[in-house]
Amino acid sequence: MNLEELRRLVKQGETETLEFKTKVNHPEKIVKEVVAFANTKGGNLLLGVSDQGQLLGLAAATEAVYTLEAAIANYCFPKIQYQRKIIQLTAKKAIVNYTIFESKFKPHYTLFGKGKKSRQEYIRLADRSVKASREMKEILRRERRQSAVRFTYGEKEKVLLNYLEDHQYITLNNFAKIAGINRFLASRTLVTLVLAKVLQIIPREGEDHFCFNAVSV
């Protein structure tokens, strides 16, 4: 990527696959973006660009690279694949572009301490990186198996699919309520139907939405 290509990219603004960071003062806050890209569609992380898309550059690009890559190595698991390119703005300032690839080993997570409570998976939602729901994490984990998923068309599935005939989407809590089942069983049912390609999950910061999979309809 050259400087002209960089300018065209930045004009898009932050998106699901593009994130700007001015500095690397707190790399532990940046690694979640790396994890989110790997867990979603991949993307570009630009260092030295403001939220408004100004090309500010980094006066110490080499130090920023060292700091961020040490954080990625120490806090992101499993190992994440990426490429780095330094683009000079002036003799003293540069932009660093990290291309993070969508991973085949999802879900990736950050880990800053010991125990499961310190582990956190992220996904990309529009121009933000948000914590993945329990259902999203399970779907990411099980999608790696690439095997056909079967399910039984029972009463709860009938209630769910009938509801979706008249509504655009359903949430976990709503499904559990109308089907008269607990959240665990509702969650397992929704995850299974997503993996079976009957439904699709639409991540939300509050509650994920589940709707018919357009491919299967």
Burial environment of residue 67 by CB neighbours within 10 A (0 to 12, 13 to 18, 19 or more)? middle
Single out the residue in 131, 157, 183 at which a domain terminates: 131
Residues 174 and 90 in one domain: no
Predicted model pTM: 0.89
Q: CA dihedral defined by 156, 207, 108, 46, rounded to 10 degrees?
A: 150
Q: Evaluate whether 43 touches 126 at the Cβ level (below 8 Å).
A: no
Domain membership flag for residue 217: no
State the Cα–Cα distance between residues 44 and 98, nearest whole angstrom: 6
Residues 76 and 122 in one domain: yes
**Paired tokens of 125:** 């939602």
Amino acid identity, position 14? E
Q: Evaluate whether 47 touches 34 at the Cβ level (below 8 Å).
A: no
Which single residue is written with the structure tokens 């069983």? 185
pLDDT digits (tens, 9 = 90+) for 62-107: 999 999 999 999 999 999 999 999 999 999 999 999 999 999 999 9
Residues 125 and 154 in one domain: no
3-state class of 68 per DSSP? helix
Residues 163 and 87 in one domain: no
State the Cα–Cα distance between residues 37 and 29, nearest whole angstrom: 14
- Domain range spanning residue 44? 3-131
Q: Evaluate whether 29 touches 71 at the Cβ level (below 8 Å).
A: no
**Paired tokens of 29:** 């806050």
Q: Evaluate whether 43 touches 124 at the Cβ level (below 8 Å).
A: yes
My answer on whether omega of the bond before 203 falls inside 30° of 0, hence cis, is: no
State the Cα–Cα distance between residues 129 and 203, nearest whole angstrom: 11
Q: How far is CA 119 from CA 38, 95, 100, 133, in A?
A: 16, 30, 20, 13
In a structure prediction context, what are the per-residue pLDDT tens digits for the chain, which is 217 residues long? 888 999 999 999 999 999 999 999 999 889 999 999 999 999 999 999 999 999 999 999 999 999 999 999 999 999 999 999 999 999 999 999 999 999 999 999 999 877 667 899 999 999 999 999 999 999 999 887 766 787 889 999 999 999 999 999 999 999 999 999 999 999 999 999 999 999 999 999 889 999 998 765 4
CATH of the domain at 152: 1.10.10.10
Residues 105 and 172 in one domain: no
